[in-house]
Amino acid sequence: MNAKTLTTIDCHINGIHRQLTLSPAMSLAEVLRAEGLLSVKLGCQVGECGACTVLVDDTAIDSCLYLAIWAQNKTIRTVEGELANGVASKIQQAYANTGAVQCGFCTPGLIMATTAFLAKPRTKPLTIKQIRHGLAGNLCRCTGYQMIVDAIQHCE
């Protein structure tokens, strides 16, 4: 990589200030994985599967389609940051309790999508239709989705 093409950005990742030197062409997913955040999965890389979902300023985004330079001065959350003193978040625990994790490839993205979804103003309890619609951007090949719906209902 030509050093002249590199740029530096400031951002926060999982609560820690970071200064990252990167190519302007790199996606946020590539940069996060290069930083060791391997929960960020690269599946389709065209915005279809949601495996790369992270939160940027609390909005769920497909990090495969989001240039890392756009994260300048932004706050990024990945599933690694959802543990508090080694304790799983309520959403992580609900996924585990309901068997919504099978091969696990989709799970980090789904947990981050769920985190953003449940943080939105909403009526309670959510209907199954609302849950399925809210997570429509995240694909899972293993669970048939029902256990994921169950997990979210357990968070209510």
How near is the Cβ of 47 to ligand FES at its closest, in Å?
A: 5
Verify binding: residue 43, ligand FES, rule CB under 6 A: yes
Q: Which is nearer to ligand FES, 50 or 134 (CB)?
A: 50
Count the helices and strands in the chain (H runs, E runs).
5, 5
The dihedrals phi and psi of 26, each to the nearest 5 degrees, come to -80, 140
Q: Under rule CB under 6 A, how many of the chain's residues touch ligand FES? A: 23
**Interface with ligand FES in residues 61-100 (CB under 6 A):** 62, 64
Verify binding: residue 47, ligand FES, rule CB under 6 A: yes
Strands 75-77 and 7-13: parallel
Q: Which stretch binds ligand FES (CB under 6 A): 6-14, 42-50, 71-79, 121-129?
A: 42-50
68 contacts: CB under 8 Å, gap ≥ 6: 9, 20, 22, 26, 27, 28, 30, 31
Rule CB under 6 A: choose which of 42, 67, 118, 128 binds ligand FES: 42
CA dist 67 and 31 (Å) reads 9
Residues that bind ligand FES (CB under 6 A): 42-45, 47-52, 62, 64, 101-107, 140-143
